[in-house]
């Protein structure tokens, strides 16, 4: 699970979120906490291998909302809880995210400070020892550890770009 705001408060929400999804096959993918006081927003993104339904969002919202109220961990007691799926054009960052899209078309953008953005589109053929991208004329291996070590940002989407003719320079 990715926690956007690192704090004891967010960690407590994550623990309650794990309790809320216990036994459902749903996982808490990301938690964002924004604002303060009456304007505090707790946004929880969920995921499930077979896809997230409205019912899944409703279930997690009910369970997590009840736990948040029972445990009374929200400062000032006032918050808005939003629960939703990551969506089709999601950022994939954990190994299990990549494993779920093996065999599907992905778009990969790598950005290095001071350099132009590199974009690739192809089928994710494997994720055992890096990203293996199958392209029409050749396959390419991308070392994820090396990319992270050099300060690159990697965004992968299992969906096609909105404009397949768009080229990044």
The reported pLDDT for the residue numbered 120 is: 73
Domain positions in the chain are: 2-85, 95-157
Q: Please state, in angstroms and as integers, the Cα–Cα distance from residue 25 to each residue in 48, 67, 98, 162, following that order.
A: 6, 19, 18, 31
The superfamily in CATH containing domain 2-85 is RimP-like superfamily, N-terminal (3.30.300.70)
Tens of each residue's pLDDT in the chain, 169 residues = 544 444 688 889 999 999 999 999 999 988 999 988 778 899 999 988 888 999 999 999 999 999 999 998 887 778 899 999 987 666 676 677 777 778 878 777 766 667 777 777 778 888 776 777 777 777 777 666 544 444 444 555 554 444 433 333 3
The reported pLDDT for the residue numbered 158 is: 52
Q: Which pair of structure tokens corresponds to residue 104?
A: 């599907």
The number of C-alpha atoms within 13 Å of 70 and in the hemisphere containing its C-beta is 9
Measured distance CA(86)–CA(51) in Å, rounded: 10
């Amino acid at each position: 699970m990715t926690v956007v705001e690192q704090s004891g408060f967010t960690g407590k929400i994550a623990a309650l979120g794990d309790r809320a999804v216990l036994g459902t096959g749903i996982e808490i993918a990301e938690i964002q906490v924004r604002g303060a006081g009456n304007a505090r927003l707790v946004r929880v993104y969920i995921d499930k291998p077979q896809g997230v339904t409205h019912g899944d969002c409703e279930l997690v919202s009910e369970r997590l909302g009840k736990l948040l109220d029972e445990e009374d961990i929200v400062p000032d007691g006032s918050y808005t809880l939003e629960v939703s799926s990551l969506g089709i054009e999601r950022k994939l960052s954990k190994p299990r995210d990549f494993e779920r899209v093996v065999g599907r078309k992905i778009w990969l953008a790598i950005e290095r400070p001071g350099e132009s953005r590199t974009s690739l589109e192809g089928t994710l053929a494997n994720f055992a020892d890096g990203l293996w991208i199958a392209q029409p004329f050749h396959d390419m291996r991308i070392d994820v550890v090396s990319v992270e070590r050099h300060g690159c940002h990697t965004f992968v989407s299992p969906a096609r770009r909105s404009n397949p003719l768009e080229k990044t320079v």
